[in-house]
Amino acid sequence: MRTNKMILLVIVLSLFVSVIIPMNKVDAAVKTAIVNVDNLNVRAKATTSSTLLGQLKKDSTVSVLKIENGWANIKFKGKLAYISAVYITYTNDSTSSKKMYVNVDLLNVRASASPASKMLGMLKKNETVQVLSTTNGWSKIVYQSYPAYVKSSYLSTNATKPVKQLNYQYSLNMASNYMYVYRDATSKAYSFWQSKGGGEWDITLFDRTYGTTKHIGYSIESKKELLIGSEESPIIQYPLTVGKKFKTMQSTATVLAIDKIMTVKAGTFKNVVEIDMGNGLINYYAPNRGHILSKDKKSKKILYELIEFY
């Protein structure tokens, strides 16, 4: 009888302690987050096919109890509910989830942190992802409401700005005639380009040493490239972007700039393209005007300059 009373007393005391001492285990794991889309569906279970309980507006604050398979467990109108974890941003734990941007054209999404694992899909450039963690060069993200992995090197904290491209014409203007001055170490010569139409030009060279000579030149432009000179060598390839490399007849050229302002004897030009021709020359081309200047790459000396057009 005495033993039964002791057992009863222990049970009563246990119940009393459990009432007056709150259990904070769940509360300690709660994380505050903010909804980052306009209308976020709230569901009864962690699946898109479960009952829709309502929606949360953008910037609504929620208390996340746990994350499981890409779903955040929350309390909604006093009941447990689920929302997609990809559409929330944590406020009290910056390491839990971080918004990042894809910085390549197409990024493979995989089931595990390995290039040999199953590919779940692809993300396009500047798409946003929520990074849950990063380990050994792989970022764990939420993809279509489920955990997945992408290479961390292809994510950035900021969106990638579009590469600037120019679509001006850079061929010689067939409605004009051109006069150039050519300078080398010993002499000065003048080159006169007179249009014959169809991209063909009569070129007359006035040189003190060799006198007057004549030959045929070309300035032919297509959507793909600009050919110029007596050998129809490609000197520009489109579309124009800084850093672009392309093959000429003798070397590999590199586009250094596409928006320079240049002043030569013939005038001042905007949106000038600067190209390292790979043969010791730096050439400059103005929109709707063509070749306006050439410099020696090492000495920076002007070798060829447009002095007049009419």
SS3 11: helix
Q: Is residue 146 part of a domain?
A: yes
Asked whether residue 59 is domain-assigned, the answer is yes
> pLDDT value at position 163?
56
Domain boundary among 37, 63, 92: 92
Q: How many CB atoms lie within 10 A of CB 271?
A: 18
Task: Decide the pairing of beta strands 225-229 and 233-237.
Answer: antiparallel
Looking at the fold, whether 108 and 67 belong to one and the same domain comes out as no
In a domain, 201, yes or no: yes
As a residue count, the chain comes to: 310
Q: Token match 């054209």: residue?
A: 105
Specify whether 190 is located in the same domain as 303: yes
Residue 27 tokens, joined: 């509360």
Annotate 104-121 with b (16+ C-beta within 10 A) or e (fewer): beebbbbeebeeeeeeee
| Token representation of residue 254 | 């590199």
Give yes or no: residues 125 and 87 share one domain: no
For residue 122, the Cα-to-chain-centroid distance in whole angstroms is: 16
In the block, tokens 């898109």 appear at: 48
Identify the domain boundary among 92, 123, 144: 92
Q: Are residues 149 and 190 in the same domain?
A: no
Domain boundary among 60, 77, 92: 92
Q: Which string of b and e fits 149-187 if b means at least 16 CB within 10 Å? A: bbebebbeeeeeeeeeeeebebbbeeeeebbbbbeeeee
| pLDDT on residue 52 | 94
**Residue 18 neighbours by CB distance under 10 Å:** 10
- Spatial separation of the C-alpha atoms in residues 139 and 37, rounded to whole Å: 22
The residue type of 86 is V
Domain span holding position 115: 98-156
Same domain, 130 and 206: no
83 and 102 assigned to the same domain: no
Is 3 inside a domain boundary? no
Q: Is 220 part of a structural domain of the chain?
A: yes
Is residue 238 included in any domain, yes or no?
A: yes
**Is the separation of the CB atoms in 215 and 229 below 8 Å?**
no
Residues 50 and 121 in one domain: no
Same domain for 212 and 269, yes or no, is yes
Q: Which residues contact 26 (CB under 8 A, 6 or more apart)?
A: 65
Same domain, 35 and 120: no
Q: What is the predicted pLDDT for the residue at 12?
A: 42
SS3 content of the chain, % helix, strand, coil (to 5): 10, 55, 35
In total, how many domains does the chain have? 3
CATH number at residue 59: 2.30.30.40
pTM of full prediction above 0.85: no
Does residue 114 sit in the same domain as residue 236?
no
On whether residue 42 sits in a domain, the answer given is: yes
How do the pLDDT tens digits run along the chain, 310 residues long? Answer: 454 544 444 444 443 333 333 333 333 356 778 888 889 999 999 999 999 999 999 878 888 888 888 898 999 988 999 999 888 877 654 445 688 999 888 899 999 999 999 999 999 988 998 888 888 899 988 787 677 899 999 999 988 776 555 556 888 888 888 888 887 656 778 888 888 877 788 888 887 777 788 888 778 888 788 887 655 567 888 888 899 998 887 889 999 998 999 999 999 999 999 999 999 999 999 988 888 999 999 999 999 899 998 8
Give me the pLDDT at residue 229, please.
66
Q: How open is the CA angle 6-12-13, to the nearest 5 degrees? A: 90
In a domain, 17, yes or no: no
Other C-beta atoms closer than 10 Å to the C-beta of 123 total: 22
Same domain, 275 and 220: yes
Three-state DSSP class for residue 297: coil
Q: Are residues 117 and 191 in the same domain?
A: no
